[in-house]
Amino acid sequence: MRHQKIAAGISIVAALLFLNTKVVVASDITDSKMRLVKTIAGSISPKSVAASQNGLVSAHNMMYNHSVTIYDSKSMELVTTVSDQVKLSELGIKGFSGSYKGAPVEGAYSPDNKYLYFTNYAMYGKGFNKEGHDVCSPASGIDTSYLSRINLENFQIDAVYPVGSVPKVVKVSPDNKYILVSNWCSYTLSVISVADQKVIKSIKIGRYPRGIAISSDSKFAYVVEMGGNNIHRINLDDFSQKLIPIGSNPRAVQLSPDDAILYATLNISGKVIAWDLENNREIATVKTGQAARSLALSGDGSTLFVVNFNSDTLTKLRAADLSKVQTFKVCNEPIGVTYDNESNRTWVACYGGSIKVYQN
């Protein structure tokens, strides 16, 4: 499929498609220029950041710091640091003794904001012998890992869930029925039942599952196959699948508020793509930089934020036509991004050890 290049605007045909799918028009959020309001440093190495939309933003600091740091979204001050260390036996996991460390990758909040879930790239301690890595397959024999749950009332880890090898992204369905985890080296998606508090399904995805988005009605999940060209649409009623041929090397994914348009980053080409889900076709693409990684969407659906890992930049886009509002140097190796609706701020995770907060 020939990708359209975005210049000053989009074609009349594409514009009509956007109008028909009721995308929110550009707002004050979109048109304003971003300005740096705070740089957060300390003992952090954030792989990702996540806004709760209820007053908190968390950073997930991998095995380099073994922590999740949680900040007040208004003051931008540190609320607490949660160690990833757990005693598996005390959390109902048999066959383990002593303490174990994890490696927080990505996080997701429950719809009721009672919990923060985070994936652990690997576990460290007795019985875990083969740490994960980025080039792998189910035949690699890499240790399976765990999803951890932080109780936001006391900021303690109160549950863990066995998942696959090198779990990456976690998302919770809006109806709080399922927790979904993409397992990079297992090539699977783990489906955890909130009611049953256990994994009820493991779904084959293909090489390197990563980004996940869930429709607002909780009927469909969209799971990226980063090692291929597809996004897997999974029916959460019967777990049947349909492939969306999004393009080579997709990584992160977001849904428009009306669930009509899928936005995704295409890592190798450094592009963001908008996909019409009803007609199963590309609407538009735009190149944002080298290695387009994480993607965030404002709550009103008007604005996209993408970090370009190898360009060291952040790009702000109008969701309505993927036109660029702003691209600027943000830090060395920006890897994660999130948007807080109430404060109208964008938080960027810089892998080298800082967080940049921008006012829109």
Indicate the burial class of 226 (C-beta count within 10 angstroms; 0-12, 13-18, 19 or more).
buried
**Overall average pLDDT of the 256-278 stretch:** 98
pLDDT exceeds 70 at position 16 = no
Render pLDDT for 41-63 as a digit per residue (tens, 0 to 9): 999 999 999 999 999 999 999 99
Q: How confident is the model at residue 114 (pLDDT cuts 50, 70, 90)?
A: very high
pTM as predicted = 0.92
pLDDT exceeds 80 at position 310 = yes
CB atoms within 10 A of CB 281: 12
**Overall average pLDDT of the 177-199 stretch:** 98
- For the domain 12-359, what is the CATH code? 2.130.10.10
**Overall average pLDDT of the 337-345 stretch:** 98
User: In the numeric block, which tokens belong to residue 123?
Assistant: 């576990």
**Overall average pLDDT of the 4-27 stretch:** 38
**Overall average pLDDT of the 242-259 stretch:** 98
Q: How confident is the model at residue 21 (pLDDT cuts 50, 70, 90)?
A: very low
In order, the DSSP letters of 132-153 are --SS--GGG-PPP-EEEEEETT
**Overall average pLDDT of the 123-148 stretch:** 96
pLDDT exceeds 90 at position 332 = yes
**CA-to-CA dists, residue 76 to 79, 143, 343, angstroms:** 9, 36, 10
Helix residue ranges, H only, the chain: 12-20, 28-31, 62-65
**Overall average pLDDT of the 180-188 stretch:** 98
pLDDT exceeds 90 at position 3 = no
pLDDT number for residue 28: 73
In whole angstroms, give the CA distance from residue 221 to residue 236: 7
Cβ neighbours of residue 39 closer than 8 Å, sequence gap 6 or more: 354, 355, 356, 357
Q: How confident is the model at residue 10 (pLDDT cuts 50, 70, 90)?
A: very low
Q: How confident is the model at residue 204 (pLDDT cuts 50, 70, 90)?
A: very high
pLDDT number for residue 165: 98
pLDDT exceeds 60 at position 14 = no
Q: How confident is the model at residue 24 (pLDDT cuts 50, 70, 90)?
A: very low
pLDDT exceeds 50 at position 65 = yes
pLDDT exceeds 80 at position 308 = yes
Residue type, 193: S
| Contact criterion met (CB below 8 Å) for 270 and 287 | yes
Domain assignments of the chain as residue spans, ordered by start: 12-359
Cβ neighbours of residue 115 closer than 8 Å, sequence gap 6 or more: 109, 149, 150, 151, 152
Average of per-residue pLDDT values in the chain: 93
**CA-to-CA dists, residue 38 to 62, 82, 307, 330, 340, angstroms:** 22, 22, 17, 12, 14
**CA-to-CA dists, residue 354 to 47, 55, 195, 349, angstroms:** 10, 20, 37, 7
pLDDT number for residue 27: 56
User: In the numeric block, which tokens belong to residue 174?
Assistant: 């809006």
Residue type, 179: I
DSSP code of residue 24: P
